[in-house]
Structure 1
Amino acid sequence: MSTTPQRVAVVTGAARGIGAATAERLAADGHAVAVLDLDTASGAETVRRIAENGGRALAVGADVSDERQVESAVARIAEELGPPAVLVNNAGVLRDNLLFRMTVADWDTVSNVHLRGAFLMTRAVQKHMVDAGHGRVVTLSSSSALGNRGQANYAAAKAGLQGFTKTLAIELGRFGITANAVAPGFIATEMTAATAARMGITFEEFQERCAADIPVRRVGTPDDVAEAVSFLAGERSGFVSGQVLYVAGGPLC
């Protein structure tokens, strides 16, 4: 029987969608998983599913854009689960609008959750990774980083996360830590369903329209993204760092 300690993964925005699928996949890979979302209750369902499948998980409430909450959450995770070895920066929000209608609050909210949140979480967790001489940071970018109408705030944040990731790879590589980004295309989640609602069409129609422009002729699922994160968070990806993996069903122009 192996005496190797169970590695701890932290997934932000893990109550639903891509975050929940990723948390469950990492648990299936053998990690103890901190399911982090805005409040503890939000992550309870993800934790329940992990536990039902024999995994170990902890629901943690924190606003990733709040420095004190982040530091407190990471300290609790380290105490109750163990020092974090994997961080998945997934927490995100949308505040879509055309530039002339976009408010400063729309801009700041998206920037704070995506960019500030990833910075605060990574800064807090990397201390444990440096001490261990091993770590994996996987950050969720998006195909919108290449530009997308009505998403100046979101596109800028997701593009910024790619630069953030490449810099982490340069700075942290000497400590045995890799940093990579996963950039999904269209993924069927509550977030994309909300986009369809704003457009005044059904989610089914929205998916059909988008699938017609995707080479594999289907939209993505949270599990598609979770598979990519699983690889980058695992032992087989130790020589992969500073990369952006587009999970989009085809090449992007």
Structure 2
Amino acid sequence: MGLTGAGLTGAGLAGAGLAGARRPSAGSRPVLLAVAHGSRSAAGVAANRALLHRVRALRPDLDVRCCFLDLARPALPEALAALDGRAAVLVPLLLGGGYHLRADLPGALAAAGLTRLPLARALGPHPLLAAALADRLAATGRPAGAGPVVLAAAGSSDPAANADTARTAELLADRLGDGSPVVPAYLSAARPTPREAVAALHAAGHRHVAVATHLLAPGFFADRAAATGARWTSAPLGTHEALARLVALRHDEARVASLAAAR
């Protein structure tokens, strides 16, 4: 399944056609500071950096930087200090809302004296995220209409974050367009787990169940998502083109909102 019709146009992506343009000097470009969870998995950290490499290729008008909330460097406070007064937008590499977005990130901005620095929304829910999930699922060889899908998300104790996962499940079902139900499931802090969801679907008579991995990168949660007994399990989202475009879009939305508020 390709990206046609995935919603890739719009004012927020006005810079997407700049990939072949001359790159402005580093000091003149605004900063897109992406902040990821961080991981003990070297492959997981590398996947976040690879995604941002793709964003750089898409948007040479931006100085795209990476930092982490935990377990990897540079840490968010270091990256904020390194801005040194540059115009910037903080873009969370988070697939839904929750405590990080509501408390941790605003708290870090306040501690750095940067309360006016724009903070973008979480990446999801969004049709571009659903497009990436559908493509990863198609890459497993699952035929259209083959049966129900379990959306395996990290999970949260925050009901609003889990509601974002449920909305992404609805968007993925719409994107698949084959009548297959998509059941949200959570790898921590909420129920059902992906294994429980797959088992319940099998018990209900569905022989063929797929798992759509609603994660950015390899690591502990991705390993758990792959151990459910489903017939097909998609890879993490990684460097999917739609995801790179979504990172750029969230930057643009926050930047536009900040400029409008300053008028």
* TM-score of the pair, normalised by structure 1: 0.40
Pick the structure with more helix per residue.
1
* Bigger Rg, structure 1 or 2: 2
* TM-score of the pair, normalised by structure 2: 0.39
Structure number with the bigger relative contact order (C-alpha 8 A, sep ≥ 6) is 2
